[in-house]
Structure 1
């Protein structure tokens, strides 16, 4: 299987990139993203892509899907905040009251829509992983977990508690994800922000799965 850095040119029709299984024009994606993102944000996306590939290899995931989802996860991150809500509504995204109050959260679902509409990505797993990379959610797939964590631990990140998450991500994906969710929730609480229900669902789902074997033996 090729990796994101080994991907060969599949060709494109006009401005629409053709997605042919595991083949994708990586340089074409970078060229388009460079017009949508600042150099710093583009470097972050490359870091997430490479980190996601490494994690996919470690935990038995699809490296190509992980690389693509990581590269495109922030496609809408630099859409002006004032434009996020109307953009989401134009895409037909269902917007919650929390997202109306914190429209920056909408960059994730809008990024998934841009991956589909601008880069012709129709793989449901890739799109869902992009959609969930900010809030998480219940019953996250392997790819969902990888992209969420890769966004947190990519080499350009630097914050307190990060090394513990990085270390755990080398051995236990779920425990690393739980640490990342806990840190995110603690930060939001400290800032007096709104916690998205999907984040709570993601955390609770992990805890329930951890405790289920114990419950079955009591």
Structure 2
């Protein structure tokens, strides 16, 4: 990687408003806690958390151009809500601009908004940390935090179901990968409970 942790924090924090950087700090703290609790690598969790929203406040046209110009990025995302784009662009930028080469870290950045089938432990940790960091305040977040004390999968499932329920209540389109990720977690939980 091209940057020390402190240099990375300095570079990334300039990419967003102060309030969003507070969120990122909360995700960093929560991701490390979840990683330590559930056996993921805390350093990788910290790195992915630092970078997870790196491009969130970039101009939409710039994010769109990056996705369109790079065939290995998920072109299908362009058909869905723009707030999903920053995770794909963040994955690309972490690699291109910050020299992150660890596939596990890059994937945790890439899938932190949508989830995916077969989420890795690090994917789950970063995605859940983003849902439940201390600054988050939405109906059901305290339930997600309580579940996280006992089960990573149950807490993440509650997070996905909260998002899906919210989108349904607003009659918004739901990105299919999130539905598939939710269904995969239900299967995993079923196997754990057998």
TM-score (norm 1): 0.83
Unmatched runs of 5 consecutive residues or more in structure 1: 1-15, 19-24
Q: 1:207 aligns with which of 170, 180, 186?
A: 186
- Work out whether 1:95 is the aligned partner of 2:80: no
Pair 99,213 (structure 1): closer, same or farther in 2 beyond 3 Å: same
Pairwise CA distance, 1:27: 1.6
SS of aligned partner of 1:17: coil
Instruction: Tell me how far 1:56 sits from its aligned partner.
Output: 0.3
Q: How is 1:140-155 mapped onto 2 (pairs within 5 angstroms)?
A: 140-155=119-134
Instruction: Give, in whole Å, the separation in 1 of the partners of 2:80 and 2:42.
Output: 35
What does 1:167-178 correspond to in 2, within 5 Å?
167-178=146-157
1:123-147: CA deviations, max 9, x gaps? 0000001000000010101000001
Counterparts of 1:142 and 1:42, CA distance in 2: 24
The partner residue of 2:63 within 76, 84, 89 is 84
Aligned twin of 1:180: 159
Aligned length: 193
Shift of 1:81: 2.2
Contact 1:37–1:78 (CA under 8 A) maintained in structure 2 = yes
- Displacement, 1:86? 1.2
User: Structure 2: 5+ residue runs without aligned partners?
Assistant: none
Q: Once structures 1 and 2 are overlaid, which stretch shifts more, 138-147 or 77-86?
A: 77-86
Tell whether the 8 Å contact from 2:154 to 2:189 is kept in structure 1 after alignment.
Answer: no
Measured in 2, the distance between the counterparts of 1:101 and 1:205 equals: 21
Do the aligned partners of 2:15 and 2:57 also contact (CA within 8 Å) in 1? yes
Provide the residue aligned with 1:34 in structure 2.
Answer: 13
Select the structure of larger CA radius of gyration. Answer: 1
- Aligned structure 1 segments of 4 or more residues deviating by more than 6 angstroms: none
Q: How far apart, in 1, do the equivalents of 2:120 and 2:164 lie?
A: 21
1:213 Cα deviation after fit: 6.9
CA contact (8 A) 1:85 1:100 kept: no
1:63 is matched with which residue?
42
1:17 partnered with 2:7: no
Alpha carbons 1:84, 1:104 under 8 Å: kept:
no
- Contact map agreement 1:91 1:113 (CA 8 A) in 2: no
| Whole-Å separation in 1 of the counterparts to 2:74 and 2:128 | 25
